[in-house]
Amino acid sequence: MPAAVLAGIGSALPARIVDNHELSTRLDTSDDWIRTRTGITERRISGPGESTADLAVQAGEQALRGRGADAVVLATSTPDQPCPASAPQVAARLGLGTAAAYDVNAVCTGFIYGLATGTGLIAAGIARSVLVIGADTLTTLIDPEDRGTVPIFGDGAGAVLLRAGEPDEPGALGPFDLHSDGGQAGLLWVEAGGCRKRLTDVPAERYLAMQGTAVFREACARMAESSVTVLERAGWLVDNVDRFVGHQANIRILQATAKRLGMPEDAVVSNIHRVGNTSAASIPLALHDAHADGTLIAGHRILLSAFGAGLTWGSTVLSWPELD
Ligand code: COA
């Protein structure tokens, strides 16, 4: 059975930077509060020409570097339209002809679910190469008046190209651990805009509602639990992990999860200070930045773990490959 091997990476961010000082001019908040409670200093906010699909195309182009892909899996909870999925348009704009293309919605865990889906397509012999993109413009779901959510979220995209290879090659993904708990969907959700309740002018219904403290607790517990499971499946000890690339929701969540796992703080990879929580884009953006600045080098053993609305959570591992 072929393994899915990471063979390329790319990222894209909107041009507009909004820092904490700018937010504190229009909301009852401060740079100090946001930095100490979340680790975020600034985030990118999408504008015209920077939709989810626009950002996904830019990140995808970088990951492909002129190569093709048999399938595109776009992890997003903010597609350009409610119907159809955005992945086929992304595939077409990337010049991938009639490649299979579909969206996966597991919100902030979307990229891990997307990797699992891409790995499955390759393992089943359905595709030899899969472009997995995590892209979100989650700020379009945020109430501009809500100081509880505005400081946290940002927009962006990250992408990886997976190719068929051998399980013991550097870059081979897996095993995986994936979970959900729909019984707790109400901790983090948008009430209206779906089929049960169509578009509405009521801010409390059309924007993301978040029970921050409960989400914080669940995120730490679930990411740690899932990381333990996936490390056991991989036969790795915590000490074998060189870098922990978790979903960039809050630096304190990443630090607390690492602590629960008994991992040193310097194993934690984070770019949250400059991008905030970019939902499905968070892990590939963090991987891209860490690769670019040398925090990740070939041979590093990496643990990926995410948590998000749904609730959903999941983890996987890989050894970082040589990439151009
Ligand atoms: N600026 C200033 N004060 C703020 C604020 C802001 N932006 N947001 C909340 N506060 C206030 C609260 O009103 C509260 O005031 P009070 O003590 O007078 O009642 C105080 O700060 C503490 O609020 P609390 O919610 O307990 O803070 P916290 O330490 O839990 O941090 C979050 C809040 C949202 C940063 C934190 O709960 C969190 O990160 N949760 C997870 C969110 C997340 O990751 N979501 C996405 C998951 S994929």
Pick from 108, 133, 165: which residue ends a domain?
165
Counting atoms of ligand 1 from 1, which one is nearest the CA of 23? 7
Pocket test for ligand 1, best of 111, 153, 216 (most atoms within 8 A of CB): 216
Structure tokens at 232: 């056991």
User: Per-residue pLDDT tens for 108-161?
Assistant: 999 999 999 999 999 999 999 999 999 999 999 999 999 999 999 999 999 999
User: Per-residue pLDDT tens for 38-95?
Assistant: 999 999 999 999 999 999 999 999 999 999 999 999 999 999 999 999 999 999 999 9
- Does residue 324 register a pLDDT over 90? no
- Whether residues 76 and 209 share a domain: the answer is no
Pairing status of strand 129-136 against strand 71-75: parallel
How many CB atoms neighbour CB 167 within 10 A?
A: 13
User: Per-residue pLDDT tens for 299-315?
Assistant: 999 999 999 999 999 99
- Whether residues 147 and 269 share a domain: the answer is no
Pocket of ligand 1 (CB under 6 A): 29, 33, 37-38, 108, 147-148, 151, 210, 212-213, 215-216, 219, 249-250, 277, 307-308
Pick from 165, 197, 221: which residue ends a domain?
165
Counting atoms of ligand 1 from 1, which one is nearest the CA of 29? 1
Share of residues in the chain with pLDDT > 90 (%) = 98
How many domains would you assign to the chain?
2
Which neighbouring-strand residues pair with 156?
136
Instruction: Name the maximum alpha-carbon separation found in the chain.
Output: 56
Does residue 84 have a cis bond before it (omega within 30 degrees)?
yes
Range of the domain at 199: 176-319
Pick from 100, 130, 165: which residue ends a domain?
165
Tell me whether residue 170 is in a domain.
no
Pocket test for ligand 1, best of 19, 25, 37 (most atoms within 8 A of CB): 37
Tell me whether residue 240 is one of the annotated catalytic residues: no
Mean pLDDT, the chain, rounded, equals 97
- Whether residues 136 and 203 share a domain: the answer is no
